Amino acid sequence: MYLHIGAGRLVRASSILGCFDMDGHTDSRVNRDFLKSAEKRGVTSSAGDDLPRTFILTDDGVIFTHISTAAVVGRISR
């Protein structure tokens, strides 16, 4: 099953490892360091140009999206 995560972008639901709210998780130094490391390795991408509210960890990398974490999780659980 594929999941729409914004801006016409689809991701395979089985490849999603976790969905994280940008507000709470970017306050942590460990998470900031992880996201910086992912960006340096070139494994980050963005689903749209809007300010990201969620980052989705997949087996291919990290995807930033403007869709709320609750909406992404709700779409996964359908």
Per-residue pLDDT reduced to its tens digit, 46-63:
999 999 999 999 999 999
Q: 5 falls in which pLDDT band (50, 70, 90)?
A: very high
Contact in structure between 3 and 13 (CB atoms under 8 Å):
yes
In tens, the pLDDT along 7-53 reads 999 999 999 999 999 886 667 888 889 999 999 999 999 999 999 99
pTM of the model: 0.91
Query: CB-side exposure of 27: number of CA atoms within 13 Å?
Result: 3
For residue 32, the enclosing domain spans: 2-77
How many domains would you assign to the chain? 1
